[in-house]
């Protein structure tokens, strides 16, 4: 899956004080996009909707900037190329409403559906450097959601972000690693498990669960991200006693009541032919999917289940 860029619509809410400043902001933004695409990011910027009516400065909408003869012609052409090749992210988001609700994503108390889509699609969030708050390499999002048991789930997470070319330079390793580890679908992910996750062991029953993930399914991205999180934690696990704090995603054990009620389903045969009771799991926030795992020995974690919450 290629790395795309998603425009942070919140960065467009602040107007430049005058037209020269607006031009400078756009020039800096184009430099950021150029640096990203030259580093391997796809030549696509997904936007919330038609941007032509957006105001960059008083009486200076984006449409006027795109036709302004005093603006560098190459900059205008490059921006037009990146923003006309992809559908609006809102069109794509409608296809995944059953699994994710972007209205539950906030940044510094403001609703941030564009940043939420960047997170769901594992894309690079890009912003116009219209305020100091956008001069950041990463943005911390707040996710709130009622889970399937009507319990309020709150989680904070970071997404990769850029508003200047220097940010892209810092993200070069992330971009190259994403390109190296991209997968087409669940079958591709499963077939490359030894290459991508050398410190994870997968129960045989996990194979069909992963292989059912189709190309373009946002859950494929979420599963992949969680597995890489577990892979990194397993690789860094050197001493007895696995520390859940080494995971960037929140891991929780099952309650005693669920362990009793679903003991048969949570007892899974492992690659060493032993059957183990799986309790620890990662949520696919804000979806209803889970990854159950069993820390075996330093450098080795068993993956027992990938799919919908067991009921």
- Which stretch of DSSP H or E encloses residue 157? strand 152-162
Q: Where are the domains of the chain?
A: 5-177, 183-308
Q: What is the DSSP letter of 11?
A: G
pLDDT at 216: 79
Whether 295 has a pLDDT exceeding 90, the answer reads yes
pLDDT tens digits, 234-253: 999 999 899 999 998 889 99
174 pLDDT band (50/70/90 cuts)?
very high
Edge-to-edge strands, sheet with 281-283 = 200-202, 300-308, 289-297, 281-283, 251-252
Whether 143 has a pLDDT exceeding 90, the answer reads no
Cα–Cα dist 285/178, whole Å: 21
pLDDT at 92: 63
Whether 284 has a pLDDT exceeding 90, the answer reads no
Whether 51 has a pLDDT exceeding 90, the answer reads no
Find all residues with CB under 8 Å of 107, minimum gap 6, and list them: 10, 115, 139, 140, 141, 142
Residue at token pair 């399914």: 217
Supply the pTM of this predicted model.
0.79
Neighbouring C-beta atoms of residue 52, cutoff 10 Å: 13
pLDDT at 185: 94
Q: Is 279 exposed, middle or buried (0-12, 13-18, 19+ CB in 10 A)?
A: middle
pLDDT at 180: 87
């Amino acid at each position: 899956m290629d790395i795309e860029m998603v425009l942070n619509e919140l960065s467009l809410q602040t107007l430049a004080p005058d037209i020269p400043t607006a031009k400078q902001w756009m020039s800096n933004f184009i430099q950021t996009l150029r640096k990203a695409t030259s580093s391997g990011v796809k030549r696509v910027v997904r936007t919330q909707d038609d941007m032509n009516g957006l105001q960059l400065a008083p009486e200076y909408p984006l449409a006027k900037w795109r036709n302004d003869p005093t603006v560098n012609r190459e900059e205008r052409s490059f921006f037009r190329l990146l923003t006309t090749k992809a559908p609006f992210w809102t069109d794509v988001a409608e296809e995944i409403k059953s699994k994710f609700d972007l209205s539950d994503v906030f940044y510094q108390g403001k609703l941030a559906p564009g940043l939420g889509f960047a997170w769901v699609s594992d894309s690079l969030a890009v912003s116009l450097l219209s305020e100091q708050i956008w001069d950041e390499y990463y943005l911390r999002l707040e996710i709130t959601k009622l889970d399937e048991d009507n319990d309020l789930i709150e989680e904070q997470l970071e997404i990769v972000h850029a508003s200047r070319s220097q940010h892209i330079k810092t993200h070069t390793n992330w971009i190259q690693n994403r390109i190296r580890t991209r997968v087409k679908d669940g079958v591709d992910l499963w077939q490359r498990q030894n290459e991508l996750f050398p410190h994870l062991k997968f129960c045989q029953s996990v194979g069909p669960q992963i292989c059912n993930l189709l190309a373009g399914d946002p859950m494929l991205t979420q599963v992949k991200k969680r597995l890489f999180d577990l892979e990194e934690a397993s690789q860094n696990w050197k001493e007895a006693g696995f520390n859940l704090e080494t995971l960037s995603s929140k891991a929780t054990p099952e309650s005693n009541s669920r362990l009793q009620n679903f003991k048969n389903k949570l007892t899974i045969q492992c690659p060493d032919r032993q059957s183990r009771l799986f309790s620890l799991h990662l949520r696919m926030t804000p979806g209803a999917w889970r990854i159950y795992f069993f820390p075996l020995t330093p450098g080795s974690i068993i993956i027992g289940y990938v799919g919908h919450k067991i009921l």
